[in-house]
Chains A and B, each alone.
Chain A
Amino acid sequence: MASASEPNVVPIANGAKVLDLDCVYREHAATVSRWVRRLTGKRDVCDTLQEVFEVVQRRLPSFRGEAQLATWLYAITLRVVMAQRRKARIRRILFARVQVQFDLDTEPAQSPADDLMRQQATRIVYTVLEQLGERERALLILFELEALPIAQIASILQLSENNVAVSLHRARERFRTRFQQQFPEEARGLNDGQAKR
């Protein structure tokens, strides 16, 4: 889990530096690939990463440094992922494709039991997120999993901070309800474990 102080936000671009795609890719591709994995819940994200940097290449000339480069990249990444997910959802509805699987490539666990618990928690969280709307899903990932500050989320989504707070509040309510509906045993198990302690 990333905390707000961790470098999930890449350094601010040097205003004096001339940005070209190669330079941006070299410095930020690894970080962006991690964001894409977080946002999609998938391990194989090469195609998405490529699409993100195609958009970056198109829009790089219009980047004036008003926002942090990281925020700007995050906004592009989020839009590309959301667009891909919408297309995938339509394809699933039209052609009855199978549901997506979640298979994040993660850092090694301390023990197999630890690994299993993390896999299970990840599966549950992403399955419940899948039941929410795209914006609510993105909000929860940015706030709860990426631990981004509200101000940066507002900047990425181009919303006011109050709007982000209200939307987050609703998204959390919906997540809570869906979690209890869809994973009653897990929710109960967690509660029981909590009560025992």
Chain B
Amino acid sequence: MAKPSAEALRRWAEEAASSDDAPLAELFRAVDNPQPLSAAALARVHDRLGSKLASPVARRMRELVMAIGMVLLGSSLALAGWGATEWVIGRSQEAPQPVPKAAAQSVARARSGAHLPKKNPLASAAPAAEEPAPASSSGSVAPLEPNVTQTTATASVAPRNISPSPAEPSALAAEALVLERALVKLRREHDAQGALAVLDESRALFAQGTLALEAQMARVDALLALERRSEALAILEQLPLAQISRGGELRLIRAELRANADCARALTDFDALVTQALAAPLMERVLYGRAACELQVGDRAHAEQDLNQYLKRFPQGRFAARVQAQLARPSDKAQ
């Protein structure tokens, strides 16, 4: 094959109508030519850039935290992989099993993907969480109702510090495999009920496990997918959100869940979140949720500030229409 040279290459869009590449020429000639961002959008980015660059120390800290997080994640994965290898080698040589029998059975089931037994003697010791929760407080009519269930797809497992654990590596591997099975059910198979069943088993076997926190986060996602919000909230109330890399997102979910029944408590979360450097989709929900709560508690002035701030930052946001409608309403003071 002749070596293609730079001179020999002609762009598809410049090909003649009679050439072999004429269809592609037609296609590429028709492709849109994008426009630059509007002056307003460029100004917004400039503002954001200015405030971010103003604190190089904070940026360095963020980078450091991210680097530490990556190292810890890598170590935990390596540890889990090593544990799994050890466990597999141990099994193949028919050596004495360092893992509990029930855990080994669980791992075998997790590997095979078989359905869990309906009655697990160990699972009965765990708190029952299967019965559907009563419908969440739909009685409280919030002027703007935050949307909670859409957050479940964005779940991720937080990196976590795995210090030398007293547990056997094989037990950790078994725990990781069971948790993996639950996550596959939840995220790949979209079977939240099945994921909860696996998580129940994981809790019964590894109540104080190294990955207990990750299991709890997966449980929150599964409960939210099943719209069992009060149970999800109960778990979120107990999680150490400040120590979790997904803490901002989980705190936002907690705030939105709290907002259904107790706007005053929800506001403490929203107030803390609004000062954090969150991703734009999360910040959009923070501003909207806080405004909803402020309206609920009768703080119209602050609510309007937040609603205006929302429109300024997210003029095309998914709540923009509702925010505009709310701002257009006459205030209570005027009545």
| Interface residues contributed by chain A, number (CB under 8 Å) | 59
Q: Does A197 contact B (CB under 8 A)?
A: yes
In chain A, residues 96-122, which have Cβ atoms closer than 8 Å to a Cβ of chain B?
96-97, 104-107, 117-122
Q: By the criterion CB–CB under 8 Å, are B9 and A165 in contact?
A: yes
**CB-based contact A53/B9 at 8 Å:** no
A164-B27 in contact (CB<8A)? no
Stretch at the interface among A23-31, A66-74, A75-83: A23-31
Complex contacts, B11 vs chain A, CB 8 Å? 143-144, 147
Does B48 contact A145, Cβ atoms closer than 8 Å?
no
Number of A-B pairs, beta carbon distance below 8 Å: 141
Interface residues of A in 138-197 (CB under 8 A from B): 143-145, 147, 150-151, 161-162, 164-166, 168-169, 172, 175-176, 179, 187, 190-191, 193-194, 197
Q: What's the nearest-Cβ distance from chain B to residue A165, in Å? A: 4
**B333 in the interface (beta carbon within 8 A):** no
Q: Is B92 an interface residue (CB 8 A)?
A: no
Residues on A with C-beta less than 8 A from B44 are: 46
Q: Tell me whether A168 and B9 are in contact (CB under 8 A).
A: yes
Q: Closest residue of chain A to B8, judged by CB?
A: A165
Contact between B45 and A169, CB atoms less than 8 A apart: no
Cβ proximity bits B28-63 to A, threshold 8 Å, 1 near / 0 not: 111111111100011011101100110000000000
Nearest neighbor of A121 in chain B, beta-carbon distance = B30
B35 adjacent to A34 (CB under 8 Å): yes
- Answer whether A30 and B42 are a contact pair too, CB < 8 Å, given A105-B35, A187-B23: yes
Check if B150 is an interface residue, CB within 8 A of chain A.
no
Considering only residues 1-44 of chain A, those with a C-beta below 8 Å from chain B are 1-2, 21, 25, 29-31, 33-34, 37-38
Report how far A85 CA is from B44 CA in the complex, Å: 23
Contacts of B30 in A (CB 8 A): 117-118, 120-122
Contact A46 B49 (CB under 8 A): no
Q: Any chain A CB within 8 A of the CB of B12?
A: yes
Complex contact B154–A161 (CB within 8 A): no
State whether the Cβ of B26 lies closer than 8 Å to any Cβ in chain A.
yes
Interface of A is mostly: helix
B6 at the interface (CB under 8 A from A): yes
Question: How far is the CB of A169 from the nearest CB of chain B, in Å?
Answer: 4
User: Whole-angstrom distance from the CB of A191 to the nearest CB of chain B?
Assistant: 6
Q: A25 and B32: CB pair below 8 A?
A: no
B interface, by DSSP: helix, strand, loop or mixed? helix
CA gap between A173 and B128 in the complex, in Å:
58
A131 interfacial contact with B, CB 8 Å:
no
Chain B residues positioned under 8 Å from A132 (CB to CB)? none
Cβ of A145 and Cβ of B31 under 8 Å apart?
yes
Judging by beta carbons under 8 Å apart, are A105 and B34 in contact?
A: yes
Judge whether B5 is part of the interface by a CB distance below 8 angstroms: yes
State how many angstroms separate the Cβ of B157 from the closest Cβ of chain A. Answer: 9
Interface pair B188/A46, CB less than 8 Å apart: no
Count chain B residues whose beta carbon lies closer than 8 angstroms to a beta carbon of A. Answer: 43
Determine which residue in A30, A57, A97 has the highest number of CB atoms from chain B within 10 A of its CB, and name it.
Answer: A30
Complex partner residue of A37 from B31, B34, B52, CB under 8 angstroms: B34
**B residues near A124, Cβ cutoff 8 Å:** 27
Question: Of A38, A46, A96, which one neighbours B37 at CB under 8 angstroms?
Answer: A46
Q: Is B212 close to A, CB under 8 A?
A: no
Query: Is B52 in contact with A25, judged by CB distance below 8 angstroms?
Result: no
Residue ID in chain B nearest A2 by CB atoms: B33
B37 touches A106 (CB 8 A): no
**Given that A1-B13, A50-B45, A118-B31 are contacting pairs, would A176 and B3 also be in contact in the complex, using a CB cutoff of 8 Å?**
no
Closest B residue to A176 using CB positions: B24
Which of A97, A144, A193 contacts B12 (CB under 8 A)?
A: A144
Q: Chain A contacts of B26 at CB under 8 A?
A: 190, 193-194
Nearest Cβ on chain A to B91's Cβ, whole angstroms: 28
Residue in B22, B35, B46 whose beta carbon sits within 8 Å of that of A106 in the complex:
B35
9 closest pairs, A vs B, by CB? A190-B23, A121-B30, A37-B34, A30-B36, A33-B37, A169-B4, A106-B32, A150-B6, A34-B36
**Which chain B residues have a beta carbon within 8 Å of chain A's beta carbons?**
3-6, 8-9, 11-13, 17, 21-24, 26-37, 41-42, 44-46, 48-49, 52-53, 153-156, 187-188, 279-280
Q: List 7 A-B contacts (CB under 8 A).
A: A1-B13, A34-B35, A34-B36, A38-B34, A95-B156, A168-B4, A176-B21
Chain A interface residues toward B at CB < 8 A: 1-2, 21, 25, 29-31, 33-34, 37-38, 45-47, 49-50, 53-54, 57, 91, 94-97, 104-107, 117-122, 124-125, 143-145, 147, 150-151, 161-162, 164-166, 168-169, 172, 175-176, 179, 187, 190-191, 193-194, 197
Apart from the given pairs A29-B37, A197-B17, 10 other A-B contacts in the complex at a CB distance below 8 Å: A1-B28, A29-B45, A30-B36, A37-B35, A46-B37, A46-B280, A47-B280, A97-B153, A151-B6, A179-B24
